[in-house]
Amino acid sequence: FVIFLYDKDNQGYNVFTCSYITRQSIAERGIYMNNIENITASVQMLGGFHLTINGITISDRSSQAKKPWSILEYLITFHNREIACSELIDLIWSSKESANPNGALKTLMFRSRKLLEPFGLPTHQLIIQKNGTYAWNPEIRLTVDTDQFEELCKQSKADSLTREQRLELLMEALDLYKGDFLPKSSWEAWALPISTFYHSMYLQAAHTAIDLLLDQADWTRIIGLCQRALAVEPFDEDFH
């Protein structure tokens, strides 16, 4: 059976294929669509891409093609704005032309939405389209590790902090840093400056934390932190 449910916000239909249908299943679909704003998604971008909703996680570690993941990662990275189709076309096909770029983008967006199917939610409600733009649905609350990492680093610089408070914030930030920003996309033109930004922020936080630990002669934590930092930046002699 094929079900067509009209989405009044995006002025379009969501299509669901089922082996059987009940009134309850239709009602459940309607609940998901009406309460999409009650969903919170957790995003990891440091060390790899992971998106978690309702305890279900998808990851770019899968063997699927890279381009659909790139679109998804880009939309979530810039989740605070609507992104023009032309921008996405330039992002994916900047080095070569496509005979039908708009059609190619629609096909690629379909594949990106397919990545979201494990969540059991209407994928057109996760990635929305309107007025020639695509966007991650702003009604879905996002908890993003890069935002948390940056905020903790910022808080650690407050003049009013004691050395112990500063160290606690820095260690919490460093624990969030599982690796560089989107390592599978790190050499793409849009991702490289972001990766460099967080990499530099990590090194600064690590150096500051080590200085504070040296004052405490906490050699065990210093050794552990240096080992982790070397995995991120093996050419920094201060970590050796």
- CB of 59 closer than 8 Å to CB of 160: no
Q: How far apart are CA 208 and CA 203, in angstroms?
A: 9
How confident is the model at residue 95, as a pLDDT? 58
How confident is the model at residue 62, as a pLDDT? 72
Where the chain has pLDDT below 70, the residues are 1-35, 37, 63-64, 94-98
How confident is the model at residue 35, as a pLDDT? 61
How confident is the model at residue 19, as a pLDDT? 43
Return contacts of 185-194, CB within 8 angstroms, 24+ apart.
Answer: 185/66, 185/69, 185/70, 185/73, 188/70, 189/94, 190/74, 190/91, 191/73, 194/77
How confident is the model at residue 146, as a pLDDT? 97
pTM higher than the cut 0.85: no
Which among 129, 132, 100 is positioned nearest to 112, based on CA atoms? 129
The 8-class DSSP code of residue 73 comes to H
- CB of 222 closer than 8 Å to CB of 210: yes
Give the list of residues 6+ apart from residue 123 with CB closer than 8 angstroms, or none.
113, 114, 116, 117
Q: How far apart are CA 111 and CA 239, in angstroms?
A: 43
3-class SS of residue 175? helix
Phi, psi of 41 (to 5 degrees): -110, 140
